Amino acid sequence: MTENTVLQLGNPLLRQIATPVTVFNSPEFLDCLSSMQTLMESGNGVGIAAPQIGVAMQIVIVASRPTNRYPDAPEMPATILCNPQLEILDPTLIKGWEGCLSVPGIRALVPRYQAIRVRFQDREGKSQQIDLKDFPARVFQHEFDHLQGLVYLDRIESSRDIVAESEYLKLIAH
């Protein structure tokens, strides 16, 4: 069942482990994709994962683009990644700001790998591969964590790396 809102931190469905997509043209799969897209866009998000709408399937969308939440994000076409597998290309961990549609009102600095390769299936079930670095790599790693029942707050080094969104907006307004 898909929700028509993004699940919020504390909802146990966000802590489920997602299972692989096996049928790529079922009404449930297509309905899930369209709900994910709608809720990501209406929330000005740059990515979303199926568990955030209550569906424990391995589907993420990465859609880096400048929004009022991420004014400096690079533009890339929205990419649907099913059953993704992560390979680390550059193990350097870089701290950068993240937020989450499931955790409104705060931002935190999160260490992520700088460059990754992702093998995945597209919405037709065809095998694909994409190399990502910097911000889009960060977005993918954030969404990939949702498939394991993790949120970005599970990855921070210190509670001092958490700020209110209003303070984050001041920090980036330079």
Q: How is residue 46 written in tokens?
A: 């740059």
Q: Nearer to Zn ion by C-beta: 100 or 106?
A: 100
Residue 159: exposed, middle, or buried by beta-carbon count in 10 A (0-12, 13-18, 19+)?
exposed
Q: Any residues with CB less than 8 A from the CB of 19 and at least 6 apart, and which?
A: 56, 57, 58
Q: Nearer to Zn ion by C-beta: 111 or 125?
A: 111
Q: How far is the CB of 165 from Zn ion (least distance, A)?
A: 14
Q: Nearer to Zn ion by C-beta: 100 or 110?
A: 100
> Helix %, strand %, coil % for the chain, to 5?
30, 35, 35
Among residues 75, 98, 143, 165, the one annotated as catalytic is 143
Q: How far is the CB of 159 from Zn ion (least distance, A)?
A: 18
**Minimal CB distance residue for Zn ion:** 100
Q: How far is the CB of 142 from Zn ion (least distance, A)?
A: 5
Indicate if 143 belongs to the active site: yes
Residue 160 sits at φ, ψ, to 5 deg, of -70, -10
Binding site for Zn ion (CB under 5 A): 100
Q: How far is the CB of 40 from Zn ion (least distance, A)?
A: 10
Q: Nearer to Zn ion by C-beta: 7 or 24?
A: 7
Structural contact between residues 24 and 82, judged by C-beta atoms closer than 8 angstroms: yes
Residues serving a catalytic function are 143
